[in-house]
Amino acid sequence: MESAGSYPVDFLEDDPGGYQEATAAYLASLRHGTGATPVFSLPTGEQVQLEASSVCFCALYRDEPQQKILVWVHPQDTKTVVAVYLKESWWSVEDILRTSEPAREGLLQVHSFGERIVLFTLNVIVFGRLERSVKEDGMFFLPHSAREQAKILWRDGAAIGFYSTKMKGSLCAAGTGAGYLLPVFDTVFIRRKHRRQGLGTALLRDFCETFQEEEALGVSGPISPAMYQVCRRFLLACPEVRGRLWEVEPPGAWGQRINIWLRVQLQQAGLPDYLQTCTLASVLDSARQCSALPGSSEEAEGNSQKPSPDGGSTRCRT
């Protein structure tokens, strides 16, 4: 490890190639029985000894499979990641998410290689393996792309969440020429112990403020029930955004958008099937009149104070 009190995000160089070479060499020595076999203590107090069979590579980026990260999984429970190999040391998941840099506080754009590893850890390891609830078993996030626009939420020296954005004009998928027609709030996650504090709403607000010059903004569909509650709470507090925020499928053409505020109001009114048969013109017309629907009154504003499950994902990505 580096100097006392420092963590990988604080000292990792922007040298992915060097990391790959060093990691491959270490794994080769481990498989030949010449590498050290440390014992790691889990938060539960259990002692786990390193075995070559418990180590595997995971793709760091969705679009660059050659860029991999070495993880150590529990031999009896492969959902549990014991540690990640970085800078000639094994680091616990919690230490990878920590920082000793006081300037890392609040929502910060992902730039460095170390920050990409933090994003991967939150997305693939913490949400994908450690903190997914039974109700979330049908949803998961693949690794982000190498150039994915994302922000990490830092609080009191630790990364506790993130959101990613599909930029207007960026390609919808490899091998296609279609680009997104509007900025899209794509994936979002808040760690379990930090939920119900309004942080999901804060992330959505930051996204909308970042692109305040855009006439239309998207949220990747299908939106989860928890994320709908985040959207509802945000739009109750920020009525000026109600006509701009849409649930979208790529690339976000008008026929691939549904106004989120309208959908929230229709669901409150007990009309969920309406959206399956309505025309775009009727959606737009109803969006202009949605303040007249049940749930948009002062009574609904009062209900907005009830806690909602911030965090989780906006959609299931396969």
The domain segmentation of the chain, as residue ranges, is 174-284
Give the 3-state secondary structure of residue 223.
Answer: coil
Between the alpha carbon of residue 175 and those of residues 143, 169, 171, 188, 266, the distances in Å are 18, 15, 9, 25, 37
Cis amide bond preceding 8, omega within 30: no
Question: Confidence band (pLDDT; 50, 70, 90) for 195?
Answer: very high
> How high does pLDDT run on average in the chain?
83
pLDDT computed for residue 77 by the predictor: 86
Single pTM value for the model: 0.82
Report the 10 Å Cβ neighbour count for 14.
Answer: 12
137, HSE (Cβ side, Cα atoms, 13 Å): 3
Say if residues 157 and 99 touch (Cβ distance below 8 Å).
yes
Q: Which helix (H) or strand (E) holds 85?
A: strand 77-86
Q: Which residue has the higher pLDDT, 313 or 246?
A: 246
Between the alpha carbon of residue 28 and those of residues 21, 38, 259, 295, 318, the distances in Å are 11, 16, 53, 62, 32
Distance, CA of 163 to CA of 225 (rounded, Å): 17
Pick the range with the lowest mean pLDDT from 60-74, 125-139, 161-175, 179-193. Answer: 125-139
pLDDT computed for residue 286 by the predictor: 54
Q: Which residue has the higher pLDDT, 65 or 36?
A: 65
Say if residues 313 and 227 touch (Cβ distance below 8 Å).
yes
Say if residues 12 and 113 touch (Cβ distance below 8 Å).
yes
Please give the distance of CA 274 from its chain centroid, rounded to a whole number: 30
